[in-house]
Homo-oligomer: A and B are copies of this chain.
Amino acid sequence: MARSPAPRRSRGTGRVRIEDVAREAGVSAQTVSRFLRAPAQVGPEASARIEAAVRAVGYVPNLVAGSLASNRSRIVAIIVPTLANPVHAQPVQGLGDALRPQGYQVLVGTTDFQAETEEALIRAFIGRRVDGLAVTGGSFAEPSRQVLAAAGIPVVQLWELPEDPFDMTVGLSNDAIGARMAAHFAERGYSRLAVIGHAEASDTRSAGRVTGFCAEAARLGLPEPLVLLPERPMLIRDAAPLLDRLAEAHVDAVFCTSSQLSVVLLLNARSRGLAVPGDLAIGGIDSDFATVVEPAITAIRVPAYDVGLQAGHLLLRRLAGETVPERRIDTGFTFIQRGST
């Protein structure tokens, strides 16, 4: 008697498969698969039976198997420095909102500002065969460039507007932000200007705003603005020496390149009895608190949510097979005049 080989222990997960639905509905697995992905291609009777069968057996498609077979994961990844800062959490929300209606899910990675983490995340995400990738900044060291090129997926850089992006980019010009505020100050008749930035060299955002501010002031023929770069521009007590320096230089309008600082400065100025904007006009970056203080602060709003949303739309177009000519999208920003200037 021929010895049959020992039956291999099943690896099955015991869960409901597409085959079970097919049997229940009296059609082939392929027809069930079609019904789920492109219902229009399936006849009405079969559709009804399949729908009932799916419900009856409690079928939840295994998208992992689907991804492997179709070579599309319907997952898009996004890399941000941290989710603790709303300015970086918002684009994740925007990206998700853009992609969810099309059946995509969002995988998030946080780098904690470490470039090597970015590289590791890119490898991990490519390994998961994500269909698209959004990266905050995006240093893209050589290994990453190769991995990304080999993957052949669309990639969007966020918050940057390089002349020649790696693939696509969505961001805004910090120079333009600085320039806009300088122009506003000039328009309102202020002339002894100052700008408070952030000393951290890696904070290119703040640096760009300072540069743009000064350049525009020069262009308009105003005296060179006072530039202050405190290390840690946060607490009330840090604001006092800054106010002293502004007073010494007879500054009549100051632009704070971080959202918290403008609020702190304003509170401190008021408690000193300074009139805002009479003695000192203050412009800043928008936040919830910019509208809560008295007077509300004239501010520039950076469209963090939109950065993610636009990135999502770009990715979707590419994922739909479209050739997207725009490689750089400038989201711009909103200038909001309030009481403080």
A contact residues vs B (CB 8 Å cutoff): 11, 13, 15-16, 58, 60-65, 67-68, 71, 73, 75, 82-84, 86, 89-90, 92-93, 96-97, 105-110, 123-129, 146-147, 150-151, 234-236, 260, 263-264, 267, 270-271, 288-289, 291-294, 305
Contacts and interface: CB of A to CB of B under 8 A. Distances in A.
A124 B127 CA distance: 20
Contact of A60 (B15, B68, B89, B126): B126
A43 to B, nearest CB: 25
A294 B291 CA distance: 18
A292 B259 CA distance: 13
Contact of A83 (B83, B128, B146, B235): B83
B260 A150 contact: no
B90 A291 contact: no
Q: SS class of chain A's interface: helix, strand, loop or mixed?
A: helix
Contact of A84 (B71, B90, B106): B90
Contacts of A147: 58, 60
A289 B82 CA distance: 20
B60 A293 contact: no
Contact of A146 (B58, B89, B92, B126): B58
A136 to B, nearest CB: 14
B83 A260 contact: no
A84 to B, nearest CB: 5
Contacts of A150: 15-16, 58, 60
Given A64-B73, A127-B62, A129-B62, A107 B110 contact: no
Given A123-B60, A129-B64, A236 B96 contact: no
Contacts of A292: 234-236, 260, 263-264, 267
6 contacts: A62-B127, A63-B129, A84-B93, A107-B108, A236-B293, A263-B289
Nearest to A78: B108
Contact of A68 (B64, B236, B291): B64
6 A-B pairs with least C-beta separation: A89-B89, A83-B93, A83-B89, A63-B127, A64-B67, A63-B128
B96 A105 contact: no
Given A62-B127, A127-B61, A267-B267, A291 B235 contact: yes
B71 A96 contact: no
Contact of A289 (B75, B107, B123, B289): B289
Nearest to A270: B271
Given A16-B150, A64-B67, A105-B125, 5 more contacts: A11-B71, A60-B126, A60-B147, A63-B129, A236-B294
